[in-house]
Structure 1
Amino acid sequence: MLKSKIGGIGYYVPENIVTNQDLLRVMDTSDEWIQERTGILERRYGKKFEETPATMGARAAEIAIERAGINKEEIDFIIFATLSPDYYFPGCGVLLQRELGITKTEIGALDVRNQCSGFVYGLSVADQFIKTGMYKNILLVGSEMHSMGLDFSTRGRNVTVIFGDGAGAVVLQPTEDENQGILTTHLHSDGTYAEKLALISPGSHGAYHFNKMAIETDFGFPDVEFGEMFVNPTMIENAYTYPVMEGQFVFKMAIQKFPEVIMEALKKTGLTTNDIDLLVPHQANLRISQFVQAKLKLSDDKVWNNIQRYGNTTAASIPIALCEAWEAGKVKAGDLVCLAAFGSGFTWGSALIRW
């Protein structure tokens, strides 16, 4: 039976390190406050006017392609996951294709907008394409440049201190080895509380969310008429163009859904938590990862966390962490690797991989 495997993996993070102390220059916070709530010590920010999600994704992709033992011209499909695209449209998939110099092959490019769970969603899509024989070398990239769209003031500190920039990539290829490949993927969503973690404007809602949904969800947005304008000075002055998050609500949902979707994958394959060699969770918050680890009764050596150094890189966090773990020798042939994510939407998912 044809399955899909990760044939190559790579990641890229910008050189610019931004510590918690650095953020004190622009907002009222402290290293202790940030560490206590998130576990983060530092994050990376891309070079303005030089780096974008597409360019960073290309750097990670080049490493993954080389490690897969193929030429970039052999890539026959692209999947790009991000919440911080270069442009509102077109998507980053075609920009990545152009950056890699493989436009002549005119391969398809799919953009995935599932935020923190974007990489797991993309992995599931790629897995289906590989198993059906439609494609043989799928490039899956998760890349984010949050630093271009955060509120660097005390007003925005609850969100801003969490996020960082970076990119991760894998090449999915077919395998007939029964002891290798993606065993199962599981995807879920619930849009009931979509505005609890969101960037609502600019958007095409014509102020619908401000006049209806926002007030109902206690975001504190005034009941004003913006008409159907995509963006205007009032939105900018009142910081409506920045992300909003109800942290405690998101935390409670995450610690519920993370274990559920992991156990769903294990049940599907007849495995248990004892069979997991390494859990690579989306790096949302170190406290969330620690809760999930305790819930599943996994030892420290069976969980890979790097949010302390990179912050939350959303769709890029799992491939970055997975690549780091692999490079460190924590992922070996035959190991059972579990990936899991939860994020805005809300969307969540898991994957089990026999390396």
Structure 2
Amino acid sequence: MIDMKSAKIIGMGHYVPDNVVTNQQLEPLMDTNDAWIQERTGIKERRHIVPGGEDTTSTMATKASQMAIEKAGIQVDDIDFIVFATLSPDYYFPGPGVMLQQQLGFKKEIGALDIRNQCSGFVYGLSVADQFIKTGMYKTVLVVGSEVHSGGLDFTTRGRGVSVIFGDGAGAAILQVTEEKGKGILSTHLHSEGQHAEELALIGPATTDWVPNYIERNDAEDIRYYPYMNGNFVFKHAVVRFQQVIQEALEQNGYQADDIDMLIPHQANLRISQFIQKQMNLTDERVFNNIQKYGNTTAASIPLALSEALEEGKVKAGDLVCLAAFGSGFTWASALIRW
């Protein structure tokens, strides 16, 4: 019989580019304004990398990871495995996990796993790391979410429904085996519904339509290389799936919504978070949002928010913390943690 271990988060880190892009800065680029953006999304500003600068998906992940390593009080070579979640890798291949491994300066040749679950990516990654630790395969795992959206958005009126939402950033967590009973990750819950895959997607170029085809067509109206989102459809599904997956985590562990000390939802849209908060009857003090400052950073949003919540003293030892995400795929996931 396998001696199942427990996994707990021992350090968090985050990084965002210095370049702040306010709603007002988007007004000359498209038919929009600060009031319109805030009313629909809650976002006031976001961070974008500077094209040609030092920030990339992997370098931002490296900086977030270095902060997490420092907070955890460990050395780089204490880490046994890397799980890297992103939809915006530096290259088509190889994946950014190996680049992070190189940039952190590992002396040992540990494995690096890249996963593609978009907005649910960090929670999926957390679940993977949790299973590795519980079975005893690894003792210390680095889980990262990092995204660069800004270079692939349509900054015209045509694309404003997507381009005003997304930002760049990274977040990282160090998970380690623990002997403390009842502490750490209590459970994770992962779901998908592929029939709605193209309601929130970037269709091409892809293996079904390679880049030379785009060049040959030279069609200015072909905008499949920009992200597409059926906003109302996604919103309606998100509010349902968020509640379901949070409730699933609570029920499996014998808790109710009132027991949650801190809910950290994926920062997709402040209106989604507020709807979930109201439905679950949670006070403002028990829900953490930072989308107002950073926009939607996809796989980075939950670790970025959790890292900030810890820095601000809003998550404390003994707290019951719930992480929940919904996004492209559709995929959705939750994790319940006793801090």
Structure 1 partner of 2:24: 21
1:240 matched to 2:224? The reply is yes
1:68 has 2:75 as partner: no
CA RMSD of aligned residues (A): 1.3
Asked whether the equivalents of residues 261 and 349 of structure 1 are also in contact (C-alpha less than 8 Å), the reply is yes
TM-score, normalization: structure 2? 0.96
Q: 1:113 aligns with which of 108, 116, 123?
A: 116
Structure 1 residue 235, shift from structure 2 partner: 6.5
Match for residue 189 of structure 2? 186
Work out the CA distance in 2 between the residues paired with 1:84 and 1:38: 22
1:250 is aligned with what amino acid? V
Question: How far is 1:233 from its partner?
Answer: 5.3
Partner in structure 2 of residue 77 of structure 1: 81
Match of 2:126 in 1: 123
- 2:150 matches 1:147: yes
Following superposition of structure 1 onto structure 2, how do residues 231-310 of structure 1 map, counting pairs within 5 Å?
Answer: 231-232=214-215, 234=217, 237-238=220-221, 239-310=223-294
Using the TM superposition, give the Cα deviation of residue 106 of structure 1 relative to its aligned residue in structure 2, in angstroms. 1.0
The alignment-based identity, stated in percent, is 65
CA distance in 1, matches of 2:220, 2:303: 36
Distance in 1, matches of 2:154 and 2:30, equals 10
Give the 3 Å change call, closer, same or farther, for CA 233–147 of structure 1 in structure 2: farther
User: For 1:65 and 1:341, how far apart are their aligned partners in 2?
Assistant: 25
AA aligned to 1:262 is I
User: TM-score normalised to the size of structure 1?
Assistant: 0.92
> How has the CA–CA distance of structure 1 residues 323 and 235 changed in structure 2, closer, same or farther, with 3 Å as cutoff?
farther
1:58 pairs, out of 54, 62, 66, with 62
Residue 327 (structure 1) aligns with: 311
My pick for the range that moved more, 236-245 or 327-336, is: 236-245
Secondary structure, aligned partner of 2:138: coil
Are the structure 2 counterparts of residues 236 and 161 from structure 1 closer, same or farther at C-alpha, using a change threshold of 3 Å? farther
Partner of 2:175: 172
Shift of 1:47: 2.3
* Aligned counterpart, 1:156: 159
Stretches of structure 2 lacking an aligned partner (at least 5 in a row): none
Distance in 1 between residues matched to 2:146 and 2:218, nearest whole Å: 27
- Structure 1 residues 230 and 293, CA, compared in 2 at 3 Å: closer, same or farther? farther
Cα distance change of structure 1 residues 106 and 236 upon mapping to structure 2, 3 Å threshold: farther
1:94 is matched with 98
The runs of at least 4 aligned residues of structure 1 exceeding 6 Å deviation read none
CA distance in 2, matches of 1:284, 1:82: 15
In 1, the alpha carbon distance for the partners of 2:148 and 2:37 equals 20
Alpha-carbon distance, 1:232 to partner: 2.5
Following the alignment from structure 1 to structure 2, what is the Cα–Cα distance between the partners of residues 169 and 3? 19
CA contact (8 A) 1:235 1:241 kept: no
Q: What SS does the corresponding residue of 1:182 show, helix, strand or coil?
A: strand
Q: Distance in 2 between matches of 1:235 and 1:330?
A: 52
How far apart in 2 are the matches of 1:177 and 1:272? 23
d(CA) in 2 for partners of 1:84, 1:348: 19
Q: Which of residues 29, 36, 39 is equivalent to 1:36?
A: 39
Q: Tell which deviates more after alignment, 263-272 or 40-49.
A: 40-49
Instruction: Supply the AA of the counterpart residue of 2:281.
Output: K
Give the paired residue count: 334
Structure 1 residue ranges without an equivalent (≥5): 208-227
